[in-house]
Structure 1
Amino acid sequence: MYAAVRRYTGVTDPAEAGRRVNEGFVPLLRDIPGLLAYYWIDAGDGVMVSTSVFESEAGAAESVDKAAEFVRDRLASLLPNPPQVMSGQVVASM
């Protein structure tokens, strides 16, 4: 398994960002083969975190690319700062 984590700061409207992600980005992720899980988290204080889990490294990498495109095209006004992006192999899970 592979995971991609993206941390966004300076989020101006977490509720609207969550709505747009749920309605627009989640369907895009469903088209990536090997999707196991996706979470969009409101961490408070203008911080939001997304976590995508895939069967393959290629799926995780594709999710990072799709997220960058989606943020640029649909969320730029709500997520003004570039995200911190991390990805890698899952070495422990439950």
Structure 2
Amino acid sequence: MHTVIRAYSGAGAKELFDLLERRTPEIESLMRSVQGFVSYTLARSEDGEFGFSVTVCNDKTGVDESIQKAREWIAQNAAGNGAGAPTISEGVVILHVK
């Protein structure tokens, strides 16, 4: 399995996560449509100034697809909120407990 973490902070991050929270059913459907989807988590800091998502897929192809779908969704739905590009970290899963 592979995973990707997309972390957002700074200007616009709070507004982006406010929007994501209001549209969680849509976000869930989008991520479940990713090839080889295993799990998805969306989280934010207590003050809302920082947020991140964690996507786990069966392989790197799914992770790459999730990155692209997230980028497209933000471009179409949140381009005007000022959030910068996320810091992206990805790798091979060592342990996945659910």
Shorter-chain TM-score tier = 0.7 to 0.9
* Counterpart AA for 1:8: Y
**Distance of aligned partners of 1:3 and 1:79 in 2 relative to their CA distance in 1, 3 Å threshold:** farther
* Counterpart AA for 1:81: G
Gap regions ≥5 residues in structure 1: none
- Percent sequence identity over matched residues? 25
Q: Work out whether residues 8 and 79 of structure 1, in 8 Å CA contact, stay in contact via their aligned partners in 2.
A: no
State whether structure 2 residue 56 is matched by structure 1 residue 31.
no
Deviation at 1:79?
Answer: 5.5
**Distance of aligned partners of 1:24 and 1:78 in 2 relative to their CA distance in 1, 3 Å threshold:** farther
Q: Work out whether residues 37 and 53 of structure 1, in 8 Å CA contact, stay in contact via their aligned partners in 2.
A: yes
CA RMSD of aligned residues (A): 1.7
Partner of 2:3: 3
Q: Work out whether residues 20 and 27 of structure 2, in 8 Å CA contact, stay in contact via their aligned partners in 1.
A: no
Which deviates more from structure 2 when the two are superposed, residues 6-15 or residues 64-73?
A: 6-15
CA deviation vs aligned residue, 1:67-89 (integer Å, no higher than 9, x gap): 11111111223461110011111
**Residue 87 (structure 2) aligned to one of 78, 81, 84:** 84
Partner of 1:42: 44
Partner of 1:12: 14
State whether structure 2 residue 71 is matched by structure 1 residue 71.
no
Aligned length: 93
Q: Work out whether residues 17 and 75 of structure 1, in 8 Å CA contact, stay in contact via their aligned partners in 2.
A: no
With normalisation by structure 1, the TM-score equals 0.84
Provide the rounded CA distance (Å) in 2 between the counterparts of 1:67 and 1:79.
16
Provide the rounded CA distance (Å) in 2 between the counterparts of 1:67 and 1:30.
12
Q: Work out whether residues 17 and 78 of structure 1, in 8 Å CA contact, stay in contact via their aligned partners in 2.
A: no
